[in-house]
Amino acid sequence: MDTQRRSGENGPAPFRSSRFFCVGSKWYFTTREGFDSGPFASRQRAETGLRRFLHVVRLLPEEQQIH
């Protein structure tokens, strides 16, 4: 769990957890919206999957982006 405040945040740090989790030997990532993606063969591949997901989201028109 990350308890540090990010730049521009005031007050106590909100609860944060890792976007990555492992079930059995398979890795997944989760988004703020509760979307889980996987399984991936390794955490490294899950991290690559998350980077690709975020890249695609940034390409969407503003009104269609996931917030």
| Over residues 39-56, mean pLDDT | 95
Positive or negative CA dihedral for 24, 26, 29, 30? negative
CA atoms 62, 57, 33, 18: torsion sign:
negative
Per-residue confidence (pLDDT) for residue 24, from 0 to 100: 96
As a whole number, mean pLDDT of residues 42-57 equals 94
DSSP state, residue 59: H
pLDDT for residue 52 is more than 90: yes
Say whether pLDDT at 1 is over 50. no
Structure pTM?
0.68
